């Protein structure tokens, strides 16, 4: 085995079976999957145990709830392979994800973390859009240094285990932006990159952290970037210290549906675009933006 898959699980029964099945169906079959159930109160543990009975590569750990960062570090401690592959319990890995990432990492010993492009899907598996992420180290690191997110998509990243341990694993100081922090620290140990290949169907839903904890996520990402600048003895980007930066308010349902509708329209998923345009107008019938989206979706552009 040369890959340990890190799958944190908390009350994820709706999508968990599909997520684990997508890992078990990888074209590269040499891996261990550690699924740590962080005190779920739904049927997540039952689903995990069923997969463990069917596949001896699946190891299930369960305990009381301690939170995501403690869960990730505990799984890193259990790993005994050269590479770590992250996975979330509501996403779907494409079949050749591991094969593509492993081939690239083996051909470049300087790479310490490798992501891929992602396809965004909605709660019902409908495709919304295709995100092309920055390819090379400098583009990724510079964006992270500005406090931006999703420059490497955390649940599709593959990392060198020794590099993750070298930088101290995941830190508790950056709630909801622990990924930005670890990628900034990994960038100080080696190179980051993203493959021009879709390795993950990344699910969005109104309960996603990026919606429910957006303000804290942005604050933590900015703190991670400022701390990285301090370590590197460089000046922070002006946006990080701008006291007039407006607070990010939680997105309303209509905001979310409009965003999904525009994404789907941009990629010509017209049926999906019209679906979310209608939902946006129902939730916010006085919004001109909702009606503009509906008109564009009906027109097809």
Residue 220, domain CATH = 3.90.550.10
- Contact criterion met (CB below 8 Å) for 159 and 113: yes
Q: Are 293 and 280 in contact (CB under 8 A)?
A: yes
Q: Report the pLDDT averaged over residues 91-100.
A: 98
pLDDT tens column, 16-54: 999 999 999 999 999 999 999 999 999 999 999 999 999
> Is residue 240 a part of any domain in this protein?
no
Please check whether residues 33 and 103 belong to one and the same domain.
yes
Q: What Rg value do the Cα atoms of the chain yield, rounded?
A: 20
* Cα distances (angstroms) measured from residue 180 to each of 106, 177, 187, 212: 24, 5, 11, 18
Residue 55 token pair: 């596949």
Q: Are residues 195 and 285 in the same domain?
A: no
pLDDT band with cut points at 50, 70 and 90 for residue 81: very high
Sign of the CA dihedral running 231, 233, 234, 238: positive
Whether 287 and 294 have beta carbons less than 8 Å apart is answered as: no
Does residue 271 belong to any structural domain of this protein?
A: yes
For 36, phi then psi, to 5°, come to: -105, 115
The overall pTM is greater than 0.75: yes
For residue 109, give its domain range: 3-232
Q: How many domains does the chain have?
A: 2
Residue 210's pLDDT is 75
Q: Please give the DSSP secondary-structure letter assigned to residue 81.
A: S
233-285 pLDDT per residue, tens = 999 988 887 755 555 677 899 999 999 999 999 999 999 999 999 999 999 99
């Amino acid at each position: 085995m040369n890959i340990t898959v890190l799958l944190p699980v908390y009350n994820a029964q709706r999508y968990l079976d599909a997520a684990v099945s997508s890992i078990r169906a990888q074209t590269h079959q040499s891996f261990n999957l550690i699924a740590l159930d962080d005190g779920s109160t739904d049927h997540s543990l039952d689903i995990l145990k069923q997969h463990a009975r069917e596949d001896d590569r699946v190891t299930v750990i369960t305990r009381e709830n301690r939170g995501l960062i403690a869960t990730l570090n505990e799984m890193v401690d259990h790993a005994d392979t050269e590479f770590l592959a992250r996975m979330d319990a509501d996403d779907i890995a494409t079949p050749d994800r591991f094969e593509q990432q492993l081939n690239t990492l083996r051909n470049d010993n300087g790479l310490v973390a490798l992501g891929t492009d992602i396809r965004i899907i909605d709660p019902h598996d409908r495709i919304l859009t295709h995100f092309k992420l920055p390819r090379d180290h400098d583009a990724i690191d510079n964006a992270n240094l500005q406090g931006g997110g999703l420059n490497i998509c955390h649940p599709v990243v593959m990392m060198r285990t020794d590099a993750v341990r070298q930088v101290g694993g995941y830190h508790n100081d950056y709630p909801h932006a622990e990924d930005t922090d670890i990628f900034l620290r990994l960038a100080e140990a080696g190179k980051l990159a993203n493959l021009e290949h879709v390795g993950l169907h990344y699910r969005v839903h109104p309960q996603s952290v990026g919606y429910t904890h957006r303000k804290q996520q942005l604050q933590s990402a900015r703190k991670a970037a400022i701390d990285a600048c301090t370590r590197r003895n460089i000046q922070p980007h002006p946006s990080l210290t701008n006291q007039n930066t407006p607070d990010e308010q939680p997105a309303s349902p209509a905001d979310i549906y409009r965003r999904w509708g525009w994404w789907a329209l941009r990629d010509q998923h017209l049926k999906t675009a019209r679906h979310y345009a209608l939902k946006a107008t129902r939730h916010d019938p006085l919004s001109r933006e909702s009606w503009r989206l509906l008109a564009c979706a009906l027109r097809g552009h």
